[in-house]
Structure 1
Amino acid sequence: MERILDIIESIANEKNLNIDDVKARILKAFESAAKKLYGSECEYEALINPTTKNITLYQKILVVNNDDERLDNEHFISLDKAHEFDKSLEIGDSLNYEINIEDLGRTAAGTLSREIEYHIQRLIEEKIFEKYNAKVGSLVFGSVTRVDSEENTFIEIDEIRAVMSMKNRIKDEKFKIGDVVKCVIKSVRLDKKDGIKVELSRTSPKFLEALLKAEVPEIKDGGVIIQNSARIPGKKAKIALYSTTPNIDAVGATVGIKGVRINAVSNELNGENIDAIEYSNEPAIFVARALAPAIVSSVKIDGQKAIVSLVPEQKSKAIGASGINIRLASMLTKYEIELEELTNATPVGQINNEEGLKNLKALFGDL
């Protein structure tokens, strides 16, 4: 085939692909076609002459011992016979014969065309996979194109059609064709049979984090870090934050003046209530903060369990409606939380001088 470089350049420009990647796939297509047309027992190598822009295909004949039993096969050549062509050849080397697929006629041309189409399509899919796999957890926008009988919502995002299943949709949400939907990319899968599968979500904690990043400049700029988040979609969420500089109040910046920032995110989540708390690397303090709006008296860490003492009137606040508050606090802190009722107890931070000093050291080091 003549002027293959021109064809490669044309494909690369049309499909927005790297020219070297296209070149490698075209060569692989020629080699795959040769295996189908000439036999898979032999190896083939396709090369491009950069001066003539022509492609040359070689059949590689393996050099073996003079008494090798495989010599009856046309894909092997004895060492003595190989030396008639090239004295430098050794056992295990290959003697290359030039072949021309076009000499085989229309059937061969069709085989080559299908191989080129197949390998270029795989290249396109791999590049799209790399692009969207790098965006897992990122916020995306798309238009609804279809909702099937199982309530899977198909959303068009740039060059792909992604899917959001019912479990990844906030309860009671309904979408119709033409709706513009915000969501995060939950996962990307490349299936040999079905191609690229992009799964979207509005229930993942990463969706909450992505919305906050878009709404709060301090989070986007790295002045405020989201340490962790937990959600019961459509009902309540908790997010742990810390500031990378003393000039920024992590919780205040995230909530915004009169709650404008956190409310904008809550509205996108169908009114989901969001508790923003300040993260602490001292587990007892972190657990206590995570149980807000309850005020706890003390927290004892025992392995992966946090034993929380509090007065009876604070218990219902710690648990929350249907246990939602304590569940989220546990999800956020990664501790199993056990509540113990006390009488005549003081809130955490006012326990005693010894405990107060311990908490201060946890925050600021030795004083």
Structure 2
Amino acid sequence: MEKILDIIEAIAHEKNISKESAVEAFKEALINTAKKLTSQTSTFEAIIDNDTKTYSINKVITVVADDDEKLEEEPDSYIPLSEAKEFDNSIEIGDQLKEEFILEDHGRTASANLFKELEYHVQRRIEQDLFEKYREKVGTVMLGTVNRIDADDNTHVEIGELKGILTRRNRIKGETYKRGDTIRALLRYVSVDPQIGLFLELTRTSPKFLEALMANEVPEIADGIVEIVAAARIPGERAKIALKTEQMNVDPIGAAVGVKGVRINAVSEELNGENIDCIEYSPIPEIFITRALSPAITQSIKVDQNEKKAIINITGDQKAKAIGKSGINIRLASMLTGYTIELNEVEGVTERQTDSNGDTIETNKTTDTSALEDLFK
């Protein structure tokens, strides 16, 4: 097998893997073939000569003490010191004796085993390279074509060299796909299954998918001018996203929404019509939680940062807005801020008025008339 490196380079080119990976795969194939032809407890090393482009295999035997347990466990890889000194009196414990192993002496059996081992290890290297390639893309949006829908309603998607799987629980409620459809989803994990091998686990329900879509649509987010602090979703229904910026001349909400809502609408359309509320983040919990409960108007708030709990006083006409349909608004506000929110209804009615500049003014009308009783005595 002269000029073996030429063969390895050809394999690397054909399989689209690096030359280094192909060489390592070949070394492992040589070692495993030698073990199959001798003993699994034997130790071998494979050496590639880059100048002559040939290889050699050495059987390695390590010198140990006469009473070492390894002599019984792996007798083909170890030799007692007393026996080794018969060959060379200067040998010490830990030294290694090497004997060249000629693979060609074992005929067709060696060739057949080497071919199988090389095929196996090259495939493992291909999968390892793919695993590393796509692991770096975890958390990014992937574009693929729907290949089929299986009996469990999982959507199988072709993405580059690998197969992606969008399970039912990772799909937005109400979405349906058919073969040939183009789909965008977030790469959640790169996984290995004993039956189907390496595959990509996709999701369209994660808040990270919303964040990735916003980054794709909003240049200020992609460039880091506007930062997404947190996001919360009830997939397909409603979402809240908290934004902030360190630049005084940039409006984070305006940048995210876009002119006439073109940016936020593009993201909403991709999410099957999901309504997205953009909120300006504040490091002050009271302000952040109050904004997160929008469009409801709160009267006062008491926050326990240790317990991560907020008690909010709110008038009856605003309570329904704070809770939202099926509790969506308060759930999203809690998910976004990380606080448990408790509403405490107080008397009064909150109205919105407009001043001369067109700005909204919030007023609270009380139904408590006890202060007027003295006028009628």
Corresponding residue for 1:45? 45
**What do you get for the CA RMSD once the two structures are aligned?**
2.4
Per the TM alignment, residue 265 of structure 1 is displaced from its structure 2 partner at its CA by: 0.7
Contact kept in structure 1, 2:316 and 2:348, CA below 8 Å: no
Task: Name whichever of 161-170 and 107-116 sits farther off.
Answer: 107-116
- C-alpha distance after superposition, 1:97-126 (max 9, x if no partner): 101222212222121111111111111111
Unpaired segments of 5 or more residues in structure 1?
A: 352-367
Name the SS of the counterpart of 1:146 in structure 2.
strand
Per the TM alignment, residue 4 of structure 1 is displaced from its structure 2 partner at its CA by: 1.9
Per the TM alignment, residue 291 of structure 1 is displaced from its structure 2 partner at its CA by: 0.4
- C-alpha distance after superposition, 1:181-235 (max 9, x if no partner): 0111111123466421311111111111111111111111111111110111110
Corresponding residue for 1:30? 30
Name the SS of the counterpart of 1:116 in structure 2.
helix
Partner Cα separation in structure 1 for residue 46 and residue 54 of structure 2? 10
Partner Cα separation in structure 1 for residue 109 and residue 320 of structure 2? 78
Partner Cα separation in structure 2 for residue 335 and residue 77 of structure 1? 67
Per the TM alignment, residue 328 of structure 1 is displaced from its structure 2 partner at its CA by: 0.5
Partner Cα separation in structure 1 for residue 313 and residue 251 of structure 2? 29
Corresponding residue for 1:105? 107
Contact kept in structure 1, 2:147 and 2:180, CA below 8 Å: yes
Partner Cα separation in structure 2 for residue 31 and residue 82 of structure 1? 24
Corresponding residue for 2:144? 142
Selected match of 1:258 from 260, 263, 270 = 260
Partner Cα separation in structure 2 for residue 74 and residue 116 of structure 1? 24
Selected match of 2:325 from 321, 327, 352 = 321
Name the SS of the counterpart of 2:130 in structure 1.
helix
Contact kept in structure 2, 1:222 and 1:244, CA below 8 Å: no
Contact kept in structure 2, 1:296 and 1:308, CA below 8 Å: yes
Corresponding residue for 1:206? 208
- C-alpha distance after superposition, 1:136-158 (max 9, x if no partner): 22111100011112111000011
Selected match of 1:217 from 210, 216, 219 = 219
Corresponding residue for 2:60? 60
Partner Cα separation in structure 1 for residue 68 and residue 128 of structure 2? 43
Matches within 5 A, 1:3-18: 3-18=3-18
Selected match of 2:168 from 150, 166, 169 = 166
Partner Cα separation in structure 1 for residue 267 and residue 362 of structure 2? 34
Identify if the C-alpha distance between structure 1 residues 88 and 119 changes in structure 2 by more than 3 Å, giving closer, same or farther.
farther
Matches within 5 A, 1:303-342: 303-342=307-346
Number of residue pairs matched by the alignment: 350
**Higher Cα radius of gyration:** 2
Residue 291 of structure 2 corresponds to residue 273 of structure 1: no
Contact kept in structure 2, 1:63 and 1:79, CA below 8 Å: yes
Per the TM alignment, residue 246 of structure 1 is displaced from its structure 2 partner at its CA by: 1.3
Percent identity at matched positions?
A: 52
Q: What one-letter code is carried by the residue in structure 1 that aligns with 2:285?
A: P
- C-alpha distance after superposition, 1:31-56 (max 9, x if no partner): 12212221022210000112211110
Name the SS of the counterpart of 1:105 in structure 2.
helix
Q: What one-letter code is carried by the residue in structure 2 that aligns with 1:40?
A: Q
Per the TM alignment, residue 80 of structure 1 is displaced from its structure 2 partner at its CA by: 5.8
Residue 222 of structure 2 corresponds to residue 228 of structure 1: no
Identify if the C-alpha distance between structure 1 residues 312 and 57 changes in structure 2 by more than 3 Å, giving closer, same or farther.
same
Contact kept in structure 1, 2:322 and 2:330, CA below 8 Å: yes
Unpaired segments of 5 or more residues in structure 2?
A: 352-360, 364-377
Q: What one-letter code is carried by the residue in structure 2 that aligns with 1:50?
A: N
Which TM-score applies when normalising by structure 2?
A: 0.86
Identify if the C-alpha distance between structure 1 residues 216 and 73 changes in structure 2 by more than 3 Å, giving closer, same or farther.
closer
Identify if the C-alpha distance between structure 1 residues 157 and 73 changes in structure 2 by more than 3 Å, giving closer, same or farther.
closer
Contact kept in structure 2, 1:129 and 1:190, CA below 8 Å: no
Which TM-score applies when normalising by structure 1?
A: 0.89
Name the SS of the counterpart of 2:283 in structure 1.
coil
Contact kept in structure 1, 2:33 and 2:117, CA below 8 Å: yes
Residue 182 of structure 2 corresponds to residue 180 of structure 1: yes
Q: What one-letter code is carried by the residue in structure 2 that aligns with 1:323?
A: G
- C-alpha distance after superposition, 1:77-107 (max 9, x if no partner): 4546645655653222221110122221222
Corresponding residue for 2:153? 151
Contact kept in structure 1, 2:317 and 2:349, CA below 8 Å: no
Partner Cα separation in structure 2 for residue 238 and residue 277 of structure 1? 7
